[in-house]
């Protein structure tokens, strides 16, 4: 299975429009396996391979990354990825982008407050299920998930980004209502991110 995953990444490399070389910033990151096992090792290898295929340097808002099995992925205090997508490199990229975006928005406090205030007007009420842990986190994740989707389109193309989004909604069930709204109203959310200077610049 590990060989299959690596072959997938080789094929990705061959089809990528990005330069197939190690991004300069990839040499600066520190990836640490917590309680190392075959799954943390595979996840690390595939993350490193993604750095060879795509220039992820614009997304390195924190450069210390932990990989640990059976944990919920989180951004703080140290960005930590789990091994759920060890054999699914595209989704691993999605998870990495998502957690880095939390760090990006830490730098945009004032802009984020304004964007969330506008989102509360657009979405004055929220459903009981399919959202984040609380109201404020849900509005934050509107921005994170829409930026994540835009970045997946940038790196992988629209077709593959839509496949990932569909999986997050229906298979993995990660913030399913939020991702559905991102898909339906992406144009409006993209404009909101641009209005408040939240978009990642390349």
Model pLDDT for residues 74-88, shown as the tens digit of each residue: 999 999 999 999 999
**Mean pLDDT of the residues in the chain:** 90
Q: Indicate whether 134 and 42 sit together in one domain.
A: no
12 half-sphere exposure, CB direction, 13 A CA radius: 22
Asked if 100 and 140 sit in the same domain, the reply is no
Q: What's the confidence (pLDDT) of residue 26?
A: 60
Q: Do residues 115 and 85 share a domain?
A: no
Residues 94 and 165 in one domain: no
Residue 90 Ramachandran class (φ > 0 left, ψ -120 to 50 alpha, else beta): alpha
What's the confidence (pLDDT) of residue 202? 84
State the average pLDDT over residues 57-67.
96
Q: Is the pLDDT reported for residue 15 higher than 80?
A: no
Instruction: Summarize the confidence of residues 12-26 as an average pLDDT.
Output: 47
Q: Do 12 and 88 belong to one domain? A: yes
Number of domains in the chain: 2
Closest CA to 33 of 82, 73, 77: 82
Q: What's the longest Cα–Cα distance across the chain? A: 49
> Are 119 and 93 part of one and the same domain?
no
The fraction of the chain above a pLDDT of 70, given in percent, is: 87
Lookup: tokens for 84: 């759920």
Domain boundary among 104, 123, 148: 104
- 86 and 119: one domain? no
Q: Is 200 inside a domain boundary?
A: no
| pLDDT score recorded for residue 3 | 45
162 with 94, same domain: the answer is no
45 and 115 share one domain = no
The domain in which residue 169 lies consists of 108-195
């Amino acid at each position: 299975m590990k060989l299959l995953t690596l072959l997938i990444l080789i094929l990705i490399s061959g089809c990528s429009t990005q330069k197939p070389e190690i991004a300069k910033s990839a040499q600066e990151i520190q990836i640490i396996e917590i309680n190392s096992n075959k799954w943390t090792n595979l996840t690390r290898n595939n993350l490193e391979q993604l750095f060879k295929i795509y220039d992820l340097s614009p997304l390195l808002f924190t450069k210390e990354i932990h990989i640990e099995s059976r944990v919920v992925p989180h951004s703080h205090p140290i960005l930590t990825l789990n091994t759920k997508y060890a054999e699914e490199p595209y989704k691993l990229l999605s998870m990495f982008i998502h957690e880095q975006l939390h760090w990006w928005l830490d730098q945009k406090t004032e802009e984020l407050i304004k964007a969330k205030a506008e989102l509360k007007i657009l979405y004055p009420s929220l459903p009981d299920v399919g959202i984040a842990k609380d109201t404020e986190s849900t509005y934050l994740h509107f921005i994170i998930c829409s930026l994540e989707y835009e970045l997946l389109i940038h790196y992988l193309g629209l077709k593959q980004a839509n496949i990932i989004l569909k999986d997050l909604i229906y298979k993995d069930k990660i913030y399913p209502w939020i991702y559905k709204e991102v898909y339906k109203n992406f144009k409006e959310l993209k404009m909101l991110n641009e209005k408040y200077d939240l978009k990642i610049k390349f």
